[in-house]
Structure 1
């Protein structure tokens, strides 16, 4: 039997197909009851889509089924279906797994999942804190206050606490400041956990030998890349990060445009940040020399993105060969 399982937040639509391609059962199951269904079809092959909540469901089903996780971006057949319903999606997944044509997605290990949870959790808290800082800037502008204040700094918050504003803006300001301070405490707590985790992993210890790569950036790179052996060379890992240039050909002409931005946005973002730090703060000779060559004929942003790509190639070889940062030995 072949199972196509279209997973939603609370339930899943399941289509069961036999070897002849006939649908033998269609059923809607609460996610909490998927274990019973998996036991009933123990040993069968199944496909689910890599949705936001697929980890737990994958692990539950894998106790009894041979589960393949499908990459959402590559499920063109389902995405372009004329009539898109849960039943159609489930049946198409069942058909794909029967034909062994599911575009497979990487399923991270528990260790990778835990690392992702930590760094992504911190990233969301930082984004929330920035939103409250922006709210404060907007509030001050509404009150005609143009002095530059940094709500994320201790000095900035002390200044804001002393401001005298009319109601209800005084209460709003106090509330926003409290949220920033609370979020800062939670970020600090997560950063301690991130430092402990990054310090305990050989992969992140190697990454931290790169100038400009900290505990947080090392753990994020490791978490977003996952198992380095799943990549077939440095070009594959560059493509996964969306840092590969878009090539256009017309006749005998060949044009190289911007980067594809088709891969992991988080990985691409942290690599660019690390490249900026390595070049402008840590003055890493290898990356700085590469950046300077490009900066003379490209914009600074283009040069930094290209430097981030160069850094990722080095990271790939470091992790693949289990080596520390040694530019002459890892350049490609």
Structure 2
């Protein structure tokens, strides 16, 4: 089922790969639900495959699940080499997806459960806001250099703090650069407000999750990081062992093996970059505050540069997190005082939300 902005194409085949019919419908939830119900009534025990295209697939998957039609989400990048390149149409793609589904040769994507989609979207929204603020701060620093202004004169260490922003807005009045400077300040203030509001909402969602409370016992992981891990990974049991999760996160090197020859390359790039980034940040904190992780870091540092040694710690932490979630227990070497402090901070943020 190729997904377009306006239309979706469905190809129905039998057990011998013979086309039964090819239909199209409007890319709306109501049209998808009507199509799913009609296919189930006409063909009985059928199953479907939907192409993962942006966020357009979500309404179609929800509709087919509502109609009790089993549906999987196809990974277009990994299935691309299986599709013929001589011609490219939605009807051809729909037929190829139907054949691959029948042969059980379809590379699929994980579909996040409905109750985690909202918190997951909220997490990514907050990350986007922070990235926008970072770009605005870079532009702000550039204007300060043009006007030969020093942040040390503001009396504040943080350029995003209210004291520093008030000081910047009073500088260079009447100049074109000053006008641009004040607009940059207003934009940063606006983003600060949106980020603070998003973080309060994230705290409320995190406080509802038992998984978040368990993950917060891991050194260096607060409610934001714990919720990010839980929403991005989703069902922890879909990984039979922690090393498959390590591969999914991208904390293992690529392997090139042929015969008796085996070579390990750079770290995998086809991974979840959000979880990878979060684990690296957590590892930096764990090295300073967790004796067990500090010992692991020192051991790795003897033979590897700093960045690789930190990756070793991050890899161990995701393995520990998998064990915690599958066994439903807290981190065995938890710092109780720090853990209680993180829980109090979470409850305090929820009260102010």
* Structure-2-length-normalised TM-score: 0.84
The answer on 1:145 being equivalent to 2:143 is no
* Structure-1-length-normalised TM-score: 0.89
Per-residue Cα deviation, 1:28-80 (whole angstroms, up to 9, x for no partner): 32112222221220142110022222222200122222211112332134566
2 CA distance for matches of 1:315 and 1:158? Answer: 43
RMSD: 2.2
1 CA distance for matches of 2:83 and 2:171? Answer: 54
2 CA distance for matches of 1:110 and 1:61? Answer: 14
- Which residue matches 1:108? 112
Q: Is the 8 A contact 1:14 1:27 kept in 2?
A: yes
Q: 1:20 to 1:249 in 2, by over 3 A?
A: closer
1:62 counterpart SS class: helix
CA apart distance, 1:88: 2.0
Q: Is the 8 A contact 1:314 1:327 kept in 2?
A: no
1:246 counterpart SS class: strand
**Structure 2 unpaired stretches of 5+:** 153-157, 335-353
- Which residue matches 1:22? 18
Query: Among 6, 27, 38, which residue is 1:40 paired with?
Result: 38
Q: Is the 8 A contact 2:83 2:96 kept in 1?
A: no
- Which residue matches 1:51? 53
2 CA distance for matches of 1:99 and 1:61? Answer: 21
2 CA distance for matches of 1:311 and 1:251? Answer: 33
1:68 counterpart SS class: strand
Per-residue Cα deviation, 1:178-213 (whole angstroms, up to 9, x for no partner): 121111111111111211222221111011011110
1 CA distance for matches of 2:84 and 2:310? Answer: 37
The answer on 1:8 being equivalent to 2:12 is no
Q: Is the 8 A contact 2:151 2:164 kept in 1?
A: no
1 CA distance for matches of 2:12 and 2:329? Answer: 47
- Which residue matches 1:209? 217
Query: Among 244, 266, 274, which residue is 1:258 paired with?
Result: 266
- Which residue matches 1:136? 140
2 CA distance for matches of 1:269 and 1:122? Answer: 15
Q: Is the 8 A contact 1:241 1:261 kept in 2?
A: no
- Which residue matches 2:70? 66
Q: Please, which moves more after superposition, 204-213 or 35-44? A: 35-44
CA apart distance, 1:20: 3.1
Q: Is the 8 A contact 1:243 1:261 kept in 2?
A: no
- Which residue matches 1:171? 179
- Which residue matches 2:89? 85
2 CA distance for matches of 1:243 and 1:24? Answer: 45
2 CA distance for matches of 1:90 and 1:11? Answer: 13
1:7 counterpart SS class: coil
Q: Is the 8 A contact 1:7 1:48 kept in 2?
A: yes
Q: Is the 8 A contact 1:21 1:95 kept in 2?
A: yes
2 CA distance for matches of 1:251 and 1:16? Answer: 43
Q: 1:284 to 1:101 in 2, by over 3 A?
A: same
Q: Is the 8 A contact 1:13 1:86 kept in 2?
A: yes
**Structure 1 unpaired stretches of 5+:** none
Per-residue Cα deviation, 1:216-236 (whole angstroms, up to 9, x for no partner): 000001111111110010111
1 CA distance for matches of 2:326 and 2:54? Answer: 29
